[in-house]
Chains A and B, each alone.
Chain A
Amino acid sequence: MRQVALVAVVALAVGAAAATIVQSSRGRAASLEQSRSQQEQLTRRLDGLERLLASAPGRSGAPQAAVSQGAPASTQLVRDSPTKEAAKTEATPEKRAEHAQRLQAANAMVDRGIQLGQWSMADMALLGAATNGLSAEERDQLMSKLTVAINSDQIKLDMRHRPGQ
């Protein structure tokens, strides 16, 4: 009698263990399936992002580290530009004239630096003040003119001359 009871208990235990194993393997399979599904979703998103990046306007061949620091300057400037342009067209003729004058003065400042072949920190500060109120695109054009002159050895930087000196 005892033996029968023992066999029954053992059979029950084996059955319970088998049920647990089956349940656990089903759980693992479900979890695996979920992971696969998430992976597929991620892959699809990455593909989408890659397509988006590839079709983005103004994308340059900048190194990866530069991309992590932000898009090239020109991309942002182009993006900023329409709002500023719209604001400009809504401005009064007086404001437009003032804006044009400011732009002309800033350009003249850079031209003078190129003519003299020298650019100081004081010039830099004056240009910073003169470009205040200009659009990002206009500022970029002025800065570009200046850096072209520096990098082609037309201008020597003399940062010893500070503002107010």
Chain B
Amino acid sequence: MKAFRTALNVALAGALLTSPAAFAGYQFNQEVSISDSGGSYPGAGGNLGFVRNTADQTQYLGCYTASGAGLCFATDSAGRSRACHTGNANMLETMRLLADDSYLIFYWDTSNNCAMITVHTDSSTQKK
């Protein structure tokens, strides 16, 4: 009986150690994705943390703000870069909400003005 219990405990510990997914919640990982023609506006997006942790040293994305102007940019694993710019105070505020585990998506219009910027931060995204 004791041997059975020990074996059971060992099996349980082994199962828990080898199944990290048993503890994981919903995860959403997205590398840099660029769409030049999807929907009404072209756009780009990805998870900052996940992108940072990818093996390649090419892709990245983020936003830059200075002196009342801002730029969001993304480069995919193929080295293709896209960006949009804005001077709109609300969009600049949204850019400043970016955290290391945020999911960023931005769209641009025909003048390359940012048409929409979304910053999504929750437990599903990976930290840097």
Contact = CB atoms under 8 A, between A and B. Distances in A.
Interface string B98-121: 000000000111011111111000
Nearest to A143: B85
A110 to B, nearest CB: 12
A62 B68 contact: no
B88 A71 contact: yes
Judged by DSSP, the binding face of A is: helix
A157 B69 contact: no
B19 interface: no
A147 B71 contact: yes
A74 interface: yes
Given A63-B40, A63-B116, A155 B81 contact: yes
B83 A74 contact: no
Given A69-B91, A77-B87, A62 B116 contact: yes
Interface residues of B, number: 39
Given A72-B115, A155-B81, A156-B79, A139 B91 contact: no
Interface string A57-96: 0001111011001111111110010000000000000000
B80 A153 contact: yes
B64 A124 contact: yes
A56 to B, nearest CB: 14
Contacts of A107: none
B94 interface: yes
Interface string B70-100: 0101010001111111111111001000000
B22 interface: no
16 contacts: A62-B115, A65-B116, A66-B116, A72-B88, A72-B109, A72-B115, A73-B88, A74-B113, A80-B87, A128-B64, A136-B69, A139-B67, A147-B71, A150-B83, A157-B75, A157-B83
